[in-house]
Structure 1
Amino acid sequence: MREVWGLLHNHEYLMTMLHSKREIFADLIGSCGQYYMTERLKQPLIHMQSEGLDTSFESWAARVHLAVGILELVEQLDEDDILICDVRHAHFGVNSGGKVKLVNLEGTLLRRVANAMTASGRPCSIDSDCALIDCRSICSPKTRVCDSHIVSTNLQVICEKIFLGWSTPDRIITPGLLMTVHTPHSIIALVRQCAQPPFPNDDLDERAEIVRSVSKRLDDALTELDNSLEAYRS
């Protein structure tokens, strides 16, 4: 009984159980006492990160197809109000059917839980003091406490850390999934806008509309590109 109680307090296990029908997390195979097992997933992001700049069209086609799969996953997460607050290459996997899923849920939270954590009222000096790893929030300029909900989106962080890569304001240092010699300038521009949306003011409704617009344009562009590269996918 003690082992079962321990499982019920395991964040990853509970998230996997609660969303088992959504196919957004690695499938739960079974449990024994305090231990549980999930399906084994390939992790192509780690492989692509370590393979260097493979300039073949086959590699480019695989990258675009994977990016489209990640966008589909993000759409499902957004529908379920789930935030990925710790975005890493190793946290994404692909099953035998080509479905992109999350394989590490330690930093994956329901939006209401993440919002409660960032709006805890703790003292702050700058916005990053209120962040929950990759989930960004705002330090109140008047009260200097963290009293705001999450202001970043899943796609925004994925565009920045996965699609774009490690960069400075003027150049890309470590290319991301979609940064290759084959990447059209239009895609690069959309990924940059996705990572750093051009917000003209603090109006939350206007910000949300800008994010939706950029997300749709990126989704449409990558889907069209993915279809055009189908012949290069093995």
Structure 2
Amino acid sequence: MYKRNWFCTNFDAQRHINKMCDLFKKGRAEGNLCVPLCDSQEQFSFSCQAYHSTKEAVFRVAWGDIRFVLKSAISNIPALHWYDNGALKYPSEKEFLSTVRAVTKNMLNYTLPNTTLYKLAFLKPKSREMDIKIRRIEMDNIWILIQDNEYLMSKAYSDRDIFPQVMGTCGPYFGLEYVQPLSEPYSILYDDDTKDNWKKNVKLSMMIMEIIEELDNNFVQPLHLCDAKLRDFGVTDIENGKAKILDLDTVYPKSIVSRFIKDIDKCNDDTDCKYYDCRGRCNKDTQKCSKSLTNNNLQLVCEKVFLGWKMSNRILIPGLLLSKYAPDELMVALRQCANPEGEDGIPRGAASEDIRKQIYNILVEIDQYVETETFK
């Protein structure tokens, strides 16, 4: 299970830079970020990125006008190379490509196109490394990187405009395009529930719904957000409606999430059948979780992002659309979306396509209305 890192310090960022550069100097790390980060550190500034829930290292790097987020891949996995009678052995290029294909298929339950596999199997696909020693270091690094779900998603689907772009790598570390995270509006707890903030939140909500529709319909199988929070979304251009998902560690194809839930050893009730916020149901006769995921992205976003984070049925962090300006029609639809089957406790049903269309149409009408001078 993933660890949660709610707080960090700039000392942590420097410690990871030192660790990365030590690997590079010892000949165990390659990548286009190694030389600039390790040989020109005075040109860079590092700052802590708090509230990251799964990674050991997440921090911002600034280099003049260039900004990116440096993250660490999971590194406690068996090595790619082996020894035969004391001789160091590596797979051939053909064997390595087959290994990349097998690993990614297991993680995605889908065989990626050859063009994508080649992009994953080389740090510089357009100018492949010919030096055998350096290529072996690349293989070791790639072996770790491709088994990190966030790196794999970002790299494999780099043609999609809803995930941050991979800016580069150095050993088991990779840099992602920096996108400003959304912050909680605190519309009830403080005095920020203003007309201007409401207009902005409506636009942001429409962007998030468009992302969800793409996750549900534009991949080989639906991709599911299993740990949805407002700060897991960011906006590159609010005027042109460009938003991205910032934390991909718990974004998986539906069949993979269903596997996680099905493989839970034993359940006594529905609350035992979950992977973060991706939920299933418990068959109390067999004490086994259902074979499939039961809620969906829309339900989760309505519950956690649009309405807000709750504990003991009390909202502690207001959601994006919880406002005095929200019409009753929207609030009724959001509550139905967040709990489609009217369940007591944590909802496990999936929000319907009809409710998605209804909420989106309401938001479009509100967006048009608040642009007029009649909105008070």
TM-score between both structures, scaled by the size of structure 1: 0.87
How far apart are residue 166 of structure 1 and its match? 3.2
CA distance in 2 between partners of 1:231 and 1:17 (Å): 42
Match of 2:246 in 1: 103
Match of 2:166 in 1: 28
Structure 1 SS opposite 2:288: coil
- 2:308 matches 1:165: yes
> What residue identity is the alignment partner of 2:211?
L
After superposition, residues 30-179 of structure 1 pair within 5 angstroms as: 30-44=168-182, 46=183, 48-49=185-186, 52-79=190-217, 80=219, 81-96=222-237, 98-120=241-263, 122-167=265-310, 172-179=315-322
> Higher helix proportion, which one?
1
How far apart are residue 18 of structure 1 and its match? 1.5
Task: Give a deviation string over 1:131-181, Cα, whole Å, max 9, x none.
Answer: 111001000132111133110010101111111113479764542110111
> What residue identity is the alignment partner of 1:223?
V
8 Å contact from structure 1 (residues 139, 148) kept in 2:
no
8 Å contact from structure 2 (residues 141, 172) kept in 1:
yes
CA distance in 2 between partners of 1:71 and 1:154 (Å): 9
Task: Give a deviation string over 1:28-69, Cα, whole Å, max 9, x none.
Answer: 22223322211111122x153499341321110001000000
- 2:328 matches 1:185: yes
> Higher strand proportion, which one?
2
TM-score between both structures, scaled by the size of structure 2: 0.55
RMSD of aligned C-alpha atoms?
A: 2.4
Match of 1:19 in 2: 157
Task: Give a deviation string over 1:77-134, Cα, whole Å, max 9, x none.
Answer: 1112100001122211111454111111111111111011111252100111111110
Structure 2 SS opposite 1:38: strand
CA distance in 2 between partners of 1:66 and 1:153 (Å): 20
Match of 2:40 in 1: none
CA distance in 2 between partners of 1:170 and 1:93 (Å): 27
CA distance in 1 between partners of 2:333 and 2:339 (Å): 10
CA distance in 2 between partners of 1:18 and 1:125 (Å): 38
Deviates more, 1:212-221 or 1:23-32: 23-32
Paired positions, count: 224
Q: Of the two structures, which has the highest relative contact order with CA contacts closer than 8 Å and spacing of 6 or more? A: 1
> What residue identity is the alignment partner of 2:289?
C
8 Å contact from structure 2 (residues 261, 290) kept in 1:
yes
8 Å contact from structure 2 (residues 206, 360) kept in 1:
yes
Deviates more, 1:166-175 or 1:71-80: 166-175
CA distance in 1 between partners of 2:314 and 2:147 (Å): 44
Structure 2 unaligned residues grouped into runs of 5+: 1-138, 344-348
Deviates more, 1:100-109 or 1:63-72: 100-109
CA distance change for structure 1 residues 226 and 144 in 2, over 3 Å: closer, same or farther?
Answer: same
8 Å contact from structure 2 (residues 310, 316) kept in 1:
yes
Match of 1:196 in 2: 339
CA distance change for structure 1 residues 174 and 35 in 2, over 3 Å: closer, same or farther?
Answer: closer
CA distance in 1 between partners of 2:184 and 2:322 (Å): 15
8 Å contact from structure 2 (residues 264, 273) kept in 1:
no
8 Å contact from structure 2 (residues 185, 318) kept in 1:
no
CA distance change for structure 1 residues 102 and 140 in 2, over 3 Å: closer, same or farther?
Answer: same
